[in-house]
Structure 1
């Protein structure tokens, strides 16, 4: 691996370069981060603020050693929608907070007992299909947004045309754009689709002209805007999803370790990065934003540019917080037609599902083995099919959470389970560390 770095982890670029590099990270995460709150009925401005604050907290907890940006988590889209239907957005925030607490408990246990136990209950044969469930389970949402009039379910040809044009622009940007523009195909797709929708006369620009430049986001704060209360139904919907996002987090840390050439699982340790992720989610729940997670889009930026500086990541976080207080930006986001977001979602949700498939391929999962075939098949059908267990009149374990739990159980009870060797996974980094010590 080529370890030549343009900017090291602790290096501070010159101010002009610093601003451009941070803006690049902001653009890379912007489209996906505002899409999640848009889909679940939360404030995109609050999501920007919470992603910035969460990233800064993450950098502090990991001691400025892991250059990762945290944005809105797609895994929580369906659970937030379900929790909001039961207890409103306030109930969803309580569920998010408790999910963040689970991160903390897992981090504490990892610190005491090591990381191999977690890798053994969440191997790729479980995590891969669960990630596929996240994407495919949202496919219906994307198509409904793309084809139908919001709130009515009635088909509209103009809206579907806007969605398809948006999708086409996003695909073209992903395939053919290079350099900086190649890093932001989602944002380009939204801008292009928005422009086409405006030409079609389905964009109302009034909210933008009426909005102030500086405005307070619509924060949802416990004991200020509402009195929090626990609902077992909401907790059973949201908290198990933390198992899914923790497994995603582990995958991101492994990829980032390979990109940077440092074993972040070992130093600063997986317990610190998971704790940082959990704290970011709790911060978000305190102000009314969606749960946060480390972003693969920003890891891609780091890999392409070889700019590993945590100060660049921190700069993007500060920019995100500032953008959240710009009223014109919040109003602009609110005018984006649902069809535009639907067109982007078709690709994004498909990419999520394909990422799960890629995990299975990268880890050379053998589907000639009945064990692997059974685990993946059961997870996919239960997760996508809408199966649920009715615990009581008001409590059920459904969809992604149920599929994850059953997948973990099957992995533990079926014969032929192979243990994960963390040293083997990071043999290259361990050898580099030994060489560095010998040279010193």
Structure 2
């Protein structure tokens, strides 16, 4: 394949120094808002999340032999399981669950290297994955609204105090985010979450709800609050944590394949053939394991950064690697970590209203793009059962200390229904072949 003259930098092109810096910073901005939002929502360290995303991305580039220009940041799909895991056993349980999710990626990568990836598509067709993604988004909708409405969200329910000021700031943040996404052009359209958080933060400062004391006291250089197994917590396996995290990992694997197909179209190379889905999924899994070892949330390839690649036409892995190095450096700047900790929950609630809704809507889009026919009783049954179990909060108590969460139960029941109900297509639709804008 000849080199396209419209390409600014091809995958293995090394940019000039100033060009390298500017292009890498663009990718840093694109992933920054979402990557730090997840740990803030679930009570982990944003600085550690930045470090784990940077280290994970570098590991991913190494494992894929520098052939895939993908950035890995915090995964929104794991927000609800991380909440539940932390509530059940603290940060150690959340990190153990994250580690298990990474191991699942490694096992799937091994199977794909032997048997291809079609089996995964047959196991998880759009009629199953679409409703599960909707459940992931809507299942945490009350969290977004709670953060928007209450002064001290996260306290005991009887201590929550409704605040008109906070909900107004949240709605203003939401409005800024929507305007950025709908009306801004070029690169700024790629970072509406970051713009929304900055806008909401400025409004919060004028409203008098931001305390700058932590920023003033913080040092410029500071080690992130790393959380190591056996040092910060005892490492122990739990089936309840396993059933919280693993079903979500199966769904995010489908998301990973989708990103690879979209990225292939952007860079005009068949990344499914070379380097292949096996190394790519393995790289993603290793990134998740790295996050679990230092106390960060699970990672995933980022659509935001794929959008930046499409806009800039600079596909160089050196640029992606530069963004990863910047993320690691930012994690050691104490002032930035302290500043992130001062963002009011209502601001995060405002952007979360849109983000969690987008997660749910992406599930709807998957169903529409793949033309899932709901006049077929089979499809109607599968999607209906998944949605009600997942959003309704049904769970299955297996033993005194072991239960299947609603999200896990919904995913498992959906997979089983797809396998046993009559009328299953002989060849499942490839859910990701649709053109993604």
TM range (shorter): over 0.9
The aligned residue for residue 143 of structure 2 is 141
Task: Return the match for 1:33 from 32, 35, 46.
Answer: 35
Secondary structure at 1:71 match in 2:
strand
Task: Return the match for 2:330 from 313, 316, 323.
Answer: 323
Does structure 2 conserve the Cα–Cα contact (< 8 Å) formed by 1:375 and 1:411? Answer: yes
How do 1:33-432 residues align onto structure 2 when only pairs under 5 Å count? 33-150=35-152, 151=155, 152-418=159-425, 419-420=427-428, 425=433
Deviation at 1:243, TM superposition (A): 0.7
User: Deviations for 1:17-37, whole angstroms, at most 9, x for unmatched residues?
Assistant: 111111111111111110100
Secondary structure at 1:342 match in 2:
helix
Does structure 2 conserve the Cα–Cα contact (< 8 Å) formed by 1:96 and 1:291? Answer: yes
Distance in 2 separating the partners of 1:417 and 1:213: 59
Report which stretch shifted further, 327-336 or 305-314.
305-314
Report which stretch shifted further, 289-298 or 254-263.
254-263
The aligned residue for residue 14 of structure 2 is 12
User: Deviations for 1:384-411, whole angstroms, at most 9, x for unmatched residues?
Assistant: 1111110111111012211111111111
User: Deviations for 1:168-214, whole angstroms, at most 9, x for unmatched residues?
Assistant: 11111111112222221111100000000010000001110100000
Distance in 2 separating the partners of 1:309 and 1:421: 32
Does structure 2 conserve the Cα–Cα contact (< 8 Å) formed by 1:130 and 1:380? Answer: yes
Does structure 2 conserve the Cα–Cα contact (< 8 Å) formed by 1:263 and 1:426? Answer: no
User: Deviations for 1:83-107, whole angstroms, at most 9, x for unmatched residues?
Assistant: 1111110111011111111111111
Does structure 2 conserve the Cα–Cα contact (< 8 Å) formed by 1:144 and 1:153? Answer: no
Distance in 1 separating the partners of 2:269 and 2:309: 14
User: Deviations for 1:394-433, whole angstroms, at most 9, x for unmatched residues?
Assistant: 11101221111111111111122222477x9599xxxxxx
Secondary structure at 1:160 match in 2:
helix
Does structure 2 conserve the Cα–Cα contact (< 8 Å) formed by 1:213 and 1:327? Answer: yes
Number of residues of Structure 1 aligned to a counterpart in Structure 2: 426
Report which stretch shifted further, 41-50 or 109-118.
109-118
The aligned residue for residue 432 of structure 1 is none
Query: Structure 1 residues 219, 410: CA separation in 2 closer, same or farther (over 3 Å shift)?
Result: same
Instruction: With the length of structure 1 as denominator, give the TM-score of the two structures.
Output: 0.94
Across the aligned residues of Structure 1 and Structure 2, the Cα RMSD in angstroms comes to 1.7
User: Deviations for 1:124-144, whole angstroms, at most 9, x for unmatched residues?
Assistant: 111111111111111100000
Name structure 2 gaps, 5 residues minimum.
none
Query: Structure 1 residues 162, 12: CA separation in 2 closer, same or farther (over 3 Å shift)?
Result: same
Does structure 2 conserve the Cα–Cα contact (< 8 Å) formed by 1:62 and 1:276? Answer: yes
Distance in 1 separating the partners of 2:429 and 2:175: 43
Distance in 1 separating the partners of 2:308 and 2:433: 23
Secondary structure at 1:343 match in 2:
helix
Secondary structure at 1:230 match in 2:
coil
